[in-house]
Structure 1
Amino acid sequence: MNPLQQYIDDLESPEASTREAAAHAIHDLGDAARDAAPALFAAILRESDACPWVGTALTRVGPLAPDLDALESALQSDNSHVRFWAARTSVKLGPDAEPLIPILISLLCDPELPVRDSVVWALGVTGDPAIAQLINAARGNDVELRGRAVLALGRYPHNAATKLPVIIESLDDNDAEVRRLAALAICSLGQSAHVDSVTYDDNTFSMLLDAINRLADDDTIEVDAEWFGRIRDWFRPSA
Protein backbone atom coordinates (compact mmCIF):
# COMPACT_ATOMS: atom_id res chain seq x y z
CA MET A 1 0.00 0.00 0.00
CA ASN A 2 1.11 3.51 -0.74
CA PRO A 3 2.54 4.93 2.56
CA LEU A 4 0.43 8.08 2.20
CA GLN A 5 -2.72 5.99 1.85
CA GLN A 6 -1.81 4.12 5.02
CA TYR A 7 -1.46 7.40 6.88
CA ILE A 8 -4.80 8.57 5.49
CA ASP A 9 -6.43 5.33 6.65
CA ASP A 10 -4.86 5.75 10.09
CA LEU A 11 -6.54 9.14 10.45
CA GLU A 12 -9.76 7.17 10.96
CA SER A 13 -8.33 5.16 13.84
CA PRO A 14 -10.28 5.22 17.12
CA GLU A 15 -6.95 5.75 18.87
CA ALA A 16 -5.91 9.39 19.18
CA SER A 17 -2.23 8.44 19.29
CA THR A 18 -2.53 6.61 15.95
CA ARG A 19 -4.31 9.55 14.35
CA GLU A 20 -1.70 11.95 15.64
CA ALA A 21 1.19 9.76 14.45
CA ALA A 22 -0.36 9.55 10.99
CA ALA A 23 -0.84 13.32 10.89
CA HIS A 24 2.76 13.83 11.98
CA ALA A 25 3.93 11.64 9.09
CA ILE A 26 1.69 13.52 6.64
CA HIS A 27 3.07 16.81 7.90
CA ASP A 28 6.62 15.62 7.26
CA LEU A 29 5.71 14.74 3.67
CA GLY A 30 4.76 18.38 3.08
CA ASP A 31 3.45 19.32 -0.35
CA ALA A 32 3.71 15.71 -1.51
CA ALA A 33 0.83 14.93 0.86
CA ARG A 34 -1.63 17.44 -0.59
CA ASP A 35 -4.01 14.58 -1.45
CA ALA A 36 -4.38 13.98 2.28
CA ALA A 37 -6.05 17.36 2.88
CA PRO A 38 -9.66 16.09 2.62
CA ALA A 39 -8.87 13.27 5.07
CA LEU A 40 -7.24 15.74 7.45
CA PHE A 41 -10.32 17.95 7.33
CA ALA A 42 -12.52 14.94 7.99
CA ALA A 43 -10.27 13.90 10.88
CA ILE A 44 -10.23 17.29 12.53
CA LEU A 45 -14.01 17.59 12.23
CA ARG A 46 -14.35 14.33 14.16
CA GLU A 47 -12.03 15.41 16.96
CA SER A 48 -13.42 16.03 20.43
CA ASP A 49 -10.10 16.75 22.12
CA ALA A 50 -6.71 18.30 21.36
CA CYS A 51 -5.28 17.44 17.96
CA PRO A 52 -1.92 19.22 17.59
CA TRP A 53 -0.52 17.10 14.75
CA VAL A 54 -3.75 16.85 12.81
CA GLY A 55 -3.99 20.63 13.03
CA THR A 56 -0.34 21.25 12.20
CA ALA A 57 -0.48 18.91 9.20
CA LEU A 58 -3.61 20.68 7.99
CA THR A 59 -1.91 24.06 8.09
CA ARG A 60 0.97 22.64 6.05
CA VAL A 61 -0.73 20.69 3.27
CA GLY A 62 -3.93 22.71 3.03
CA PRO A 63 -6.11 24.51 2.39
CA LEU A 64 -7.19 25.36 -1.13
CA ALA A 65 -10.37 27.14 -2.20
CA PRO A 66 -12.27 23.81 -2.55
CA ASP A 67 -11.69 23.21 1.15
CA LEU A 68 -13.71 26.26 2.25
CA ASP A 69 -16.83 24.32 3.24
CA ALA A 70 -14.86 21.99 5.49
CA LEU A 71 -12.94 24.92 6.94
CA GLU A 72 -16.18 26.75 7.67
CA SER A 73 -17.47 23.70 9.54
CA ALA A 74 -14.23 23.46 11.53
CA LEU A 75 -14.44 27.12 12.49
CA GLN A 76 -17.87 26.41 13.98
CA SER A 77 -16.81 23.29 15.88
CA ASP A 78 -17.73 22.88 19.54
CA ASN A 79 -14.09 21.89 20.14
CA SER A 80 -11.94 24.96 20.78
CA HIS A 81 -8.84 23.09 19.57
CA VAL A 82 -10.51 22.53 16.21
CA ARG A 83 -11.57 26.19 16.00
CA PHE A 84 -8.00 27.22 16.74
CA TRP A 85 -6.50 25.05 14.01
CA ALA A 86 -9.20 26.07 11.56
CA ALA A 87 -8.37 29.73 12.14
CA ARG A 88 -4.66 29.02 11.76
CA THR A 89 -5.39 27.17 8.52
CA SER A 90 -7.45 30.12 7.27
CA VAL A 91 -4.31 32.26 7.50
CA LYS A 92 -2.80 30.28 4.63
CA LEU A 93 -5.65 31.24 2.33
CA GLY A 94 -4.84 34.94 2.49
CA PRO A 95 -7.34 36.92 0.38
CA ASP A 96 -9.03 33.66 -0.66
CA ALA A 97 -10.45 33.47 2.87
CA GLU A 98 -12.87 36.30 2.03
CA PRO A 99 -15.98 34.04 2.15
CA LEU A 100 -15.03 33.12 5.73
CA ILE A 101 -14.84 36.71 6.99
CA PRO A 102 -18.29 36.80 8.69
CA ILE A 103 -17.50 33.63 10.65
CA LEU A 104 -14.01 34.84 11.52
CA ILE A 105 -15.39 38.14 12.79
CA SER A 106 -17.91 36.32 14.97
CA LEU A 107 -15.02 34.33 16.45
CA LEU A 108 -13.40 37.52 17.69
CA CYS A 109 -15.65 36.90 20.70
CA ASP A 110 -14.53 33.29 21.13
CA PRO A 111 -13.97 32.46 24.82
CA GLU A 112 -10.51 31.06 24.04
CA LEU A 113 -7.66 33.57 23.56
CA PRO A 114 -5.62 31.35 21.16
CA VAL A 115 -8.66 31.16 18.89
CA ARG A 116 -9.17 34.93 18.98
CA ASP A 117 -5.50 35.61 18.24
CA SER A 118 -5.50 33.24 15.27
CA VAL A 119 -8.71 34.81 13.96
CA VAL A 120 -7.16 38.29 14.10
CA TRP A 121 -4.16 36.95 12.19
CA ALA A 122 -6.43 35.41 9.55
CA LEU A 123 -8.42 38.62 9.18
CA GLY A 124 -5.20 40.59 8.87
CA VAL A 125 -3.94 38.58 5.90
CA THR A 126 -7.35 38.59 4.20
CA GLY A 127 -6.92 42.27 3.45
CA ASP A 128 -9.31 45.05 2.45
CA PRO A 129 -12.58 43.04 2.52
CA ALA A 130 -11.89 42.14 6.15
CA ILE A 131 -11.20 45.77 7.05
CA ALA A 132 -14.54 46.89 5.62
CA GLN A 133 -16.45 44.24 7.58
CA LEU A 134 -14.47 44.90 10.76
CA ILE A 135 -15.39 48.57 10.52
CA ASN A 136 -19.05 47.60 10.23
CA ALA A 137 -18.70 45.37 13.31
CA ALA A 138 -16.95 48.17 15.21
CA ARG A 139 -20.01 50.34 14.62
CA GLY A 140 -22.56 47.62 15.32
CA ASN A 141 -24.93 46.97 18.21
CA ASP A 142 -23.04 44.07 19.81
CA VAL A 143 -20.92 45.66 22.53
CA GLU A 144 -18.43 42.82 22.90
CA LEU A 145 -17.97 42.50 19.15
CA ARG A 146 -17.52 46.27 18.80
CA GLY A 147 -14.58 46.18 21.16
CA ARG A 148 -13.00 43.08 19.63
CA ALA A 149 -13.38 44.50 16.11
CA VAL A 150 -11.74 47.77 17.12
CA LEU A 151 -8.86 45.87 18.70
CA ALA A 152 -8.43 43.80 15.54
CA LEU A 153 -8.36 46.95 13.41
CA GLY A 154 -5.41 48.20 15.40
CA ARG A 155 -3.44 44.96 15.29
CA TYR A 156 -1.72 45.66 11.95
CA PRO A 157 -0.61 49.04 10.58
CA HIS A 158 -1.56 48.43 6.95
CA ASN A 159 -4.36 50.71 5.73
CA ALA A 160 -4.16 52.69 8.95
CA ALA A 161 -5.66 55.72 7.20
CA THR A 162 -8.86 53.73 6.69
CA LYS A 163 -8.93 52.10 10.11
CA LEU A 164 -7.84 54.92 12.40
CA PRO A 165 -10.97 57.12 12.13
CA VAL A 166 -13.26 54.36 13.44
CA ILE A 167 -10.79 53.51 16.20
CA ILE A 168 -10.73 57.15 17.30
CA GLU A 169 -14.52 57.25 17.04
CA SER A 170 -14.62 54.30 19.46
CA LEU A 171 -12.84 56.35 22.13
CA ASP A 172 -16.27 57.95 22.64
CA ASP A 173 -18.16 54.66 22.86
CA ASN A 174 -20.65 54.49 25.73
CA ASP A 175 -19.03 51.25 26.92
CA ALA A 176 -15.85 51.55 29.00
CA GLU A 177 -14.41 48.26 27.71
CA VAL A 178 -14.82 49.35 24.09
CA ARG A 179 -13.04 52.61 24.95
CA ARG A 180 -10.22 50.65 26.62
CA LEU A 181 -9.79 48.38 23.60
CA ALA A 182 -9.80 51.40 21.29
CA ALA A 183 -6.95 52.84 23.38
CA LEU A 184 -5.07 49.55 22.99
CA ALA A 185 -5.61 49.70 19.23
CA ILE A 186 -4.16 53.21 19.11
CA CYS A 187 -1.17 52.08 21.15
CA SER A 188 -0.68 49.16 18.77
CA LEU A 189 -0.66 51.44 15.73
CA GLY A 190 1.71 53.76 17.54
CA GLN A 191 4.05 50.90 18.34
CA SER A 192 4.00 49.81 14.70
CA ALA A 193 5.16 53.25 13.62
CA HIS A 194 8.20 52.89 15.87
CA VAL A 195 9.12 49.20 15.93
CA ASP A 196 8.30 48.19 12.37
CA SER A 197 9.40 51.47 10.80
CA VAL A 198 5.98 51.86 9.22
CA THR A 199 5.68 55.22 7.51
CA TYR A 200 2.25 56.78 7.89
CA ASP A 201 1.19 59.60 5.60
CA ASP A 202 1.09 63.04 7.21
CA ASN A 203 -2.66 63.03 7.81
CA THR A 204 -2.63 59.57 9.40
CA PHE A 205 0.35 60.46 11.56
CA SER A 206 -1.40 63.63 12.69
CA MET A 207 -4.57 61.71 13.58
CA LEU A 208 -2.54 59.16 15.50
CA LEU A 209 -0.61 61.83 17.37
CA ASP A 210 -3.82 63.66 18.30
CA ALA A 211 -5.30 60.41 19.61
CA ILE A 212 -2.20 59.71 21.68
CA ASN A 213 -2.30 63.22 23.14
CA ARG A 214 -5.98 62.78 23.91
CA LEU A 215 -5.32 59.55 25.79
CA ALA A 216 -2.65 61.35 27.82
CA ASP A 217 -5.23 63.90 28.97
CA ASP A 218 -8.33 61.69 29.31
CA ASP A 219 -8.51 59.91 32.64
CA THR A 220 -11.84 58.26 31.76
CA ILE A 221 -10.15 55.82 29.37
CA GLU A 222 -8.10 53.02 30.88
CA VAL A 223 -4.67 52.52 29.33
CA ASP A 224 -1.65 50.41 30.13
CA ALA A 225 0.48 53.13 31.70
CA GLU A 226 3.88 51.56 30.97
CA TRP A 227 3.12 50.71 27.35
CA PHE A 228 1.39 54.00 26.68
CA GLY A 229 4.25 55.90 28.30
CA ARG A 230 6.78 54.32 25.94
CA ILE A 231 4.65 55.10 22.90
CA ARG A 232 4.05 58.68 23.97
CA ASP A 233 7.80 59.15 24.42
CA TRP A 234 8.40 57.89 20.87
CA PHE A 235 5.96 60.46 19.52
CA ARG A 236 6.92 63.29 21.87
CA PRO A 237 9.69 64.72 19.63
CA SER A 238 7.12 65.08 16.86
CA ALA A 239 4.55 66.79 19.05
Structure 2
Amino acid sequence: MTHKQIWLNFSGLGLLIALLGLVYWLNTGARAVPGLIEDLQSGDLQAQMLAAEGLKEIGSNAQSAVPVLVTVATSDANLSLSGAAAGALPAIDLRAARQVMTVWLPKLHDPDAHMKGYAASTIGALGPVAKPAVPILVRLLSDEDIAVRERATRSLGAIGLPIDIVMGGLLQALRDPEWTVRYAAVTQFSFSGFSSQESLAALRELTQDSNQTLAGSAQSAVAAAERLIQASVYSLMLSQGMNRTYTLHQLAKLGPRAADAVSGIAAVLTTGKPLERYLAASALEEIGPAAKESTPALQRALHDTDPIVREAVLAALQSIENKRDQTP
Protein backbone atom coordinates (compact mmCIF):
# COMPACT_ATOMS: atom_id res chain seq x y z
CA MET A 1 0.00 0.00 0.00
CA THR A 2 1.43 3.37 -1.05
CA HIS A 3 1.72 6.43 1.17
CA LYS A 4 -1.03 8.08 -0.87
CA GLN A 5 -3.39 5.12 -0.29
CA ILE A 6 -2.63 5.14 3.42
CA TRP A 7 -3.29 8.88 3.55
CA LEU A 8 -6.61 8.46 1.70
CA ASN A 9 -7.66 5.66 4.06
CA PHE A 10 -6.91 7.80 7.10
CA SER A 11 -8.72 10.76 5.55
CA GLY A 12 -11.78 8.60 4.87
CA LEU A 13 -11.71 7.24 8.41
CA GLY A 14 -11.44 10.77 9.80
CA LEU A 15 -14.41 11.88 7.71
CA LEU A 16 -16.45 8.91 8.89
CA ILE A 17 -15.64 9.68 12.54
CA ALA A 18 -16.59 13.33 12.00
CA LEU A 19 -19.91 12.32 10.44
CA LEU A 20 -20.65 9.90 13.28
CA GLY A 21 -19.81 12.64 15.77
CA LEU A 22 -22.20 15.01 14.00
CA VAL A 23 -24.98 12.42 14.03
CA TYR A 24 -24.37 11.79 17.75
CA TRP A 25 -24.36 15.53 18.48
CA LEU A 26 -27.64 16.04 16.62
CA ASN A 27 -29.32 13.15 18.41
CA THR A 28 -28.38 13.77 22.03
CA GLY A 29 -29.46 16.28 24.66
CA ALA A 30 -31.90 19.07 23.86
CA ARG A 31 -31.05 18.79 20.14
CA ALA A 32 -32.75 15.40 20.08
CA VAL A 33 -36.06 16.63 21.51
CA PRO A 34 -37.81 17.57 18.21
CA GLY A 35 -37.08 14.14 16.77
CA LEU A 36 -38.22 12.39 19.94
CA ILE A 37 -41.47 14.39 19.94
CA GLU A 38 -42.04 13.27 16.38
CA ASP A 39 -41.40 9.65 17.40
CA LEU A 40 -43.78 10.02 20.34
CA GLN A 41 -46.54 10.96 17.89
CA SER A 42 -45.60 8.37 15.29
CA GLY A 43 -48.09 5.63 16.15
CA ASP A 44 -45.22 3.10 16.26
CA LEU A 45 -45.43 1.76 19.82
CA GLN A 46 -41.77 0.74 20.06
CA ALA A 47 -40.62 4.13 18.78
CA GLN A 48 -43.02 5.89 21.16
CA MET A 49 -41.80 3.94 24.17
CA LEU A 50 -38.16 4.66 23.30
CA ALA A 51 -38.98 8.34 22.74
CA ALA A 52 -40.57 8.63 26.19
CA GLU A 53 -37.50 7.04 27.78
CA GLY A 54 -35.20 9.33 25.80
CA LEU A 55 -37.09 12.43 26.90
CA LYS A 56 -36.92 11.25 30.51
CA GLU A 57 -33.13 10.97 30.23
CA ILE A 58 -32.86 14.48 28.78
CA GLY A 59 -34.84 15.88 31.71
CA SER A 60 -35.70 19.56 32.09
CA ASN A 61 -34.19 20.41 28.70
CA ALA A 62 -37.11 18.50 27.17
CA GLN A 63 -39.68 21.12 28.26
CA SER A 64 -41.00 21.49 24.71
CA ALA A 65 -42.14 17.84 24.85
CA VAL A 66 -44.33 18.34 27.94
CA PRO A 67 -47.65 19.04 26.13
CA VAL A 68 -47.31 15.89 24.02
CA LEU A 69 -46.22 13.79 27.01
CA VAL A 70 -49.22 15.00 29.03
CA THR A 71 -51.57 14.14 26.15
CA VAL A 72 -50.12 10.65 25.86
CA ALA A 73 -49.99 10.11 29.64
CA THR A 74 -53.66 11.01 30.05
CA SER A 75 -54.85 8.84 27.17
CA ASP A 76 -56.35 5.42 27.85
CA ALA A 77 -55.39 4.05 24.42
CA ASN A 78 -52.42 1.99 25.62
CA LEU A 79 -51.47 1.31 29.26
CA SER A 80 -47.78 0.73 28.59
CA LEU A 81 -47.44 3.94 26.59
CA SER A 82 -49.39 6.14 29.00
CA GLY A 83 -47.24 4.75 31.82
CA ALA A 84 -44.02 5.45 29.92
CA ALA A 85 -45.10 9.03 29.18
CA ALA A 86 -46.18 9.56 32.79
CA GLY A 87 -42.89 8.14 34.02
CA ALA A 88 -40.94 10.62 31.90
CA LEU A 89 -42.66 13.74 33.23
CA PRO A 90 -41.31 14.03 36.81
CA ALA A 91 -37.76 14.41 35.50
CA ILE A 92 -38.91 17.15 33.11
CA ASP A 93 -41.70 19.08 34.83
CA LEU A 94 -43.13 18.31 38.29
CA ARG A 95 -46.21 20.44 37.73
CA ALA A 96 -47.05 18.57 34.53
CA ALA A 97 -46.61 15.28 36.39
CA ARG A 98 -49.08 16.45 39.05
CA GLN A 99 -51.44 17.52 36.27
CA VAL A 100 -51.45 13.95 34.96
CA MET A 101 -52.13 12.63 38.47
CA THR A 102 -55.05 15.05 38.81
CA VAL A 103 -56.59 13.82 35.56
CA TRP A 104 -56.40 10.17 36.63
CA LEU A 105 -57.46 10.57 40.29
CA PRO A 106 -61.25 10.66 39.64
CA LYS A 107 -60.92 7.48 37.59
CA LEU A 108 -59.79 5.61 40.69
CA HIS A 109 -63.48 5.81 41.64
CA ASP A 110 -64.72 4.65 38.22
CA PRO A 111 -67.33 1.85 38.34
CA ASP A 112 -65.41 0.06 35.60
CA ALA A 113 -62.70 -2.10 37.21
CA HIS A 114 -60.55 -1.95 34.08
CA MET A 115 -60.48 1.85 34.19
CA LYS A 116 -59.69 1.87 37.93
CA GLY A 117 -56.75 -0.47 37.40
CA TYR A 118 -55.53 1.56 34.43
CA ALA A 119 -55.67 4.75 36.48
CA ALA A 120 -53.82 3.14 39.39
CA SER A 121 -51.03 1.91 37.12
CA THR A 122 -50.56 5.26 35.37
CA ILE A 123 -50.51 7.16 38.65
CA GLY A 124 -47.94 4.71 40.00
CA ALA A 125 -45.73 5.38 36.97
CA LEU A 126 -45.37 8.98 38.19
CA GLY A 127 -43.44 7.71 41.22
CA PRO A 128 -43.04 9.75 44.44
CA VAL A 129 -44.50 12.92 42.92
CA ALA A 130 -47.89 11.13 43.02
CA LYS A 131 -47.76 10.97 46.84
CA PRO A 132 -51.14 12.73 47.23
CA ALA A 133 -52.82 9.74 45.54
CA VAL A 134 -51.60 7.24 48.14
CA PRO A 135 -54.63 7.32 50.51
CA ILE A 136 -57.01 6.52 47.63
CA LEU A 137 -54.71 3.75 46.34
CA VAL A 138 -54.69 2.22 49.84
CA ARG A 139 -58.49 2.15 49.79
CA LEU A 140 -58.36 0.29 46.47
CA LEU A 141 -56.65 -2.58 48.28
CA SER A 142 -60.14 -3.52 49.50
CA ASP A 143 -61.64 -3.43 46.00
CA GLU A 144 -63.55 -6.55 44.96
CA ASP A 145 -61.60 -6.80 41.70
CA ILE A 146 -58.32 -8.74 41.97
CA ALA A 147 -56.58 -6.86 39.16
CA VAL A 148 -57.42 -3.52 40.74
CA ARG A 149 -55.94 -4.62 44.07
CA GLU A 150 -52.83 -5.93 42.34
CA ARG A 151 -52.25 -2.74 40.37
CA ALA A 152 -52.89 -0.57 43.42
CA THR A 153 -50.29 -2.62 45.32
CA ARG A 154 -47.66 -2.14 42.63
CA SER A 155 -48.41 1.56 42.39
CA LEU A 156 -48.02 2.01 46.14
CA GLY A 157 -44.61 0.38 45.90
CA ALA A 158 -43.58 2.66 43.03
CA ILE A 159 -44.66 5.83 44.84
CA GLY A 160 -43.21 4.68 48.16
CA LEU A 161 -44.13 7.76 50.21
CA PRO A 162 -45.32 8.60 52.79
CA ILE A 163 -43.62 5.49 54.07
CA ASP A 164 -45.93 4.82 57.04
CA ILE A 165 -49.10 4.82 54.92
CA VAL A 166 -47.49 2.90 52.06
CA MET A 167 -46.08 0.31 54.44
CA GLY A 168 -49.51 -0.18 56.02
CA GLY A 169 -50.97 -0.75 52.57
CA LEU A 170 -48.30 -3.23 51.55
CA LEU A 171 -48.78 -5.17 54.79
CA GLN A 172 -52.49 -5.38 54.00
CA ALA A 173 -51.67 -6.66 50.50
CA LEU A 174 -49.35 -9.31 51.95
CA ARG A 175 -52.42 -10.80 53.64
CA ASP A 176 -54.71 -10.58 50.61
CA PRO A 177 -56.69 -13.80 49.91
CA GLU A 178 -55.55 -13.79 46.26
CA TRP A 179 -51.99 -15.02 45.68
CA THR A 180 -51.31 -12.64 42.77
CA VAL A 181 -51.93 -9.64 45.04
CA ARG A 182 -49.72 -11.12 47.75
CA TYR A 183 -47.06 -11.72 45.09
CA ALA A 184 -47.29 -8.09 43.92
CA ALA A 185 -46.73 -6.99 47.52
CA VAL A 186 -43.84 -9.39 48.08
CA THR A 187 -41.97 -8.06 45.04
CA GLN A 188 -42.01 -4.57 46.56
CA PHE A 189 -40.06 -5.90 49.52
CA SER A 190 -37.69 -7.81 47.24
CA PHE A 191 -36.58 -4.88 45.10
CA SER A 192 -37.78 -1.55 46.50
CA GLY A 193 -36.08 -1.18 49.88
CA PHE A 194 -39.13 -1.53 52.12
CA SER A 195 -38.55 -3.18 55.48
CA SER A 196 -39.99 -3.39 59.01
CA GLN A 197 -40.19 -6.00 61.71
CA GLU A 198 -43.88 -6.54 60.99
CA SER A 199 -43.30 -6.97 57.25
CA LEU A 200 -40.40 -9.35 57.88
CA ALA A 201 -42.64 -11.56 60.04
CA ALA A 202 -45.34 -11.57 57.34
CA LEU A 203 -42.80 -12.40 54.64
CA ARG A 204 -41.42 -15.31 56.66
CA GLU A 205 -44.92 -16.73 56.91
CA LEU A 206 -45.29 -16.45 53.14
CA THR A 207 -42.15 -18.53 52.58
CA GLN A 208 -44.39 -21.47 53.55
CA ASP A 209 -47.16 -20.49 51.11
CA SER A 210 -48.63 -23.36 49.08
CA ASN A 211 -47.94 -21.41 45.90
CA GLN A 212 -44.30 -22.13 45.10
CA THR A 213 -43.81 -19.00 42.99
CA LEU A 214 -44.99 -16.84 45.86
CA ALA A 215 -43.01 -18.80 48.47
CA GLY A 216 -39.80 -18.46 46.44
CA SER A 217 -40.33 -14.73 46.00
CA ALA A 218 -40.97 -14.38 49.74
CA GLN A 219 -37.68 -16.11 50.48
CA SER A 220 -35.89 -13.57 48.27
CA ALA A 221 -37.73 -10.73 50.00
CA VAL A 222 -36.71 -12.01 53.44
CA ALA A 223 -33.10 -12.21 52.31
CA ALA A 224 -33.29 -8.66 50.93
CA ALA A 225 -34.80 -7.37 54.18
CA GLU A 226 -32.12 -9.07 56.28
CA ARG A 227 -29.35 -7.41 54.26
CA LEU A 228 -31.04 -4.02 53.97
CA ILE A 229 -28.63 -1.39 52.66
CA GLN A 230 -27.71 1.05 55.41
CA ALA A 231 -28.11 4.82 55.23
CA SER A 232 -24.31 5.24 55.25
CA VAL A 233 -24.10 3.50 51.87
CA TYR A 234 -26.74 5.76 50.37
CA SER A 235 -24.98 8.77 51.92
CA LEU A 236 -21.82 7.79 50.12
CA MET A 237 -23.72 7.35 46.86
CA LEU A 238 -25.29 10.77 47.35
CA SER A 239 -21.94 12.46 48.01
CA GLN A 240 -20.58 10.94 44.81
CA GLY A 241 -23.60 12.06 42.79
CA MET A 242 -24.61 8.49 41.98
CA ASN A 243 -28.19 8.26 40.67
CA ARG A 244 -29.50 10.87 43.07
CA THR A 245 -33.16 10.25 42.24
CA TYR A 246 -32.95 6.60 43.26
CA THR A 247 -30.69 7.30 46.25
CA LEU A 248 -32.92 10.01 47.71
CA HIS A 249 -36.00 7.83 47.27
CA GLN A 250 -34.31 5.00 49.16
CA LEU A 251 -33.19 7.33 51.95
CA ALA A 252 -36.76 8.60 52.26
CA LYS A 253 -37.99 5.03 52.68
CA LEU A 254 -35.56 4.55 55.57
CA GLY A 255 -37.23 7.40 57.43
CA PRO A 256 -35.61 8.20 60.82
CA ARG A 257 -33.01 5.50 60.15
CA ALA A 258 -31.51 7.91 57.59
CA ALA A 259 -30.84 10.61 60.21
CA ASP A 260 -27.07 10.41 59.71
CA ALA A 261 -27.55 11.43 56.06
CA VAL A 262 -29.40 14.68 56.83
CA SER A 263 -26.58 17.07 55.93
CA GLY A 264 -26.00 15.39 52.58
CA ILE A 265 -29.71 15.35 51.81
CA ALA A 266 -30.10 19.02 52.75
CA ALA A 267 -27.30 19.94 50.35
CA VAL A 268 -29.40 18.62 47.45
CA LEU A 269 -32.03 21.31 48.13
CA THR A 270 -29.91 23.71 46.05
CA THR A 271 -29.31 21.47 43.03
CA GLY A 272 -30.59 22.35 39.58
CA LYS A 273 -33.03 19.46 39.18
CA PRO A 274 -36.50 20.02 40.70
CA LEU A 275 -37.15 16.28 41.08
CA GLU A 276 -33.99 15.89 43.17
CA ARG A 277 -34.96 18.88 45.33
CA TYR A 278 -38.45 17.44 45.76
CA LEU A 279 -37.07 14.06 46.82
CA ALA A 280 -34.56 15.69 49.19
CA ALA A 281 -37.36 17.58 50.92
CA SER A 282 -39.49 14.41 50.99
CA ALA A 283 -36.64 12.45 52.56
CA LEU A 284 -36.23 15.10 55.27
CA GLU A 285 -39.99 14.95 55.88
CA GLU A 286 -39.77 11.18 56.42
CA ILE A 287 -36.81 11.54 58.78
CA GLY A 288 -38.84 13.98 60.84
CA PRO A 289 -37.57 15.65 64.05
CA ALA A 290 -34.18 13.96 63.66
CA ALA A 291 -33.63 16.20 60.60
CA LYS A 292 -33.78 19.39 62.66
CA GLU A 293 -30.32 20.51 61.52
CA SER A 294 -31.73 20.90 57.99
CA THR A 295 -34.23 23.56 59.09
CA PRO A 296 -32.18 26.58 57.85
CA ALA A 297 -31.72 24.96 54.43
CA LEU A 298 -35.42 24.12 54.26
CA GLN A 299 -36.43 27.65 55.22
CA ARG A 300 -34.32 28.99 52.35
CA ALA A 301 -35.90 26.42 50.06
CA LEU A 302 -39.35 27.86 50.81
CA HIS A 303 -38.45 30.31 48.03
CA ASP A 304 -37.81 27.55 45.48
CA THR A 305 -38.98 28.39 41.97
CA ASP A 306 -40.99 25.16 41.71
CA PRO A 307 -44.32 25.08 43.60
CA ILE A 308 -44.23 21.30 43.98
CA VAL A 309 -40.82 21.55 45.62
CA ARG A 310 -42.09 24.33 47.90
CA GLU A 311 -45.00 22.11 48.92
CA ALA A 312 -42.57 19.31 49.86
CA VAL A 313 -40.33 21.74 51.74
CA LEU A 314 -43.25 23.00 53.82
CA ALA A 315 -44.29 19.42 54.60
CA ALA A 316 -40.72 18.66 55.71
CA LEU A 317 -40.65 21.64 58.07
CA GLN A 318 -44.00 20.60 59.57
CA SER A 319 -42.74 17.04 60.03
CA ILE A 320 -39.56 18.21 61.73
CA GLU A 321 -41.71 20.29 64.07
CA ASN A 322 -43.81 17.14 64.58
CA LYS A 323 -46.89 18.69 63.00
CA ARG A 324 -47.24 16.41 59.98
CA ASP A 325 -50.79 15.44 59.05
CA GLN A 326 -51.15 11.71 59.73
CA THR A 327 -54.67 11.40 58.27
CA PRO A 328 -54.73 8.33 55.97
Which TM bucket (shorter chain)? 0.5 to 0.7
Q: 1:213 to 1:229 in 2, by over 3 A?
A: closer
Are 2:44 and 1:45 equivalent residues in the alignment? no
Once the two structures are superposed, residues 100-121 of structure 1 have per-residue CA deviations (whole angstroms, 9 ceiling, x without a partner) of 12649889967xxxxx7x974x
Kept in 2, the 8 Å contact 1:134–1:149? The answer is yes
Are 2:215 and 1:228 equivalent residues in the alignment? no
Other-structure match for 1:145: 148
TM superposition shift of 1:145:
2.4
TM superposition shift of 1:144:
1.0
Alignment of 1:66-81 (within 5 A): 67-68=66-67, 70-75=68-73, 76=75, 78=77
Structure possessing the higher relative contact order (Cα contacts under 8 Å, 6 or more residues apart): 1
TM superposition shift of 1:165:
1.4
TM superposition shift of 1:40:
5.5
Other-structure match for 2:200: 209
SS of structure 2 residue aligned to 1:130: helix
Other-structure match for 2:310: none
2:83 and 2:137 map into 1 onto residues whose CA distance is: 20
Other-structure match for 2:240: none
Unaligned residue ranges in structure 2 (runs of 5+): 1-21, 109-113, 229-328
Q: Taking structure 1 as the reference length, what is the TM-score of the superposition? A: 0.56
Kept in 2, the 8 Å contact 1:63–1:89? The answer is no
**Percent identity of paired positions between Structure 1 and Structure 2:** 16
Other-structure match for 1:28: 28
Kept in 2, the 8 Å contact 1:123–1:130? The answer is no
Once the two structures are superposed, residues 173-231 of structure 1 have per-residue CA deviations (whole angstroms, 9 ceiling, x without a partner) of 23221122222233345xx26xxxxxx7xxxx332233233324554682326513523
Kept in 2, the 8 Å contact 1:151–1:182? The answer is yes
TM superposition shift of 1:57:
5.3
Unaligned residue ranges in structure 1 (runs of 5+): 1-20, 111-115, 194-199
Match for 1:178: what amino acid? V
Once the two structures are superposed, residues 68-112 of structure 1 have per-residue CA deviations (whole angstroms, 9 ceiling, x without a partner) of 5x33431327467854641342232346412312649889967xx
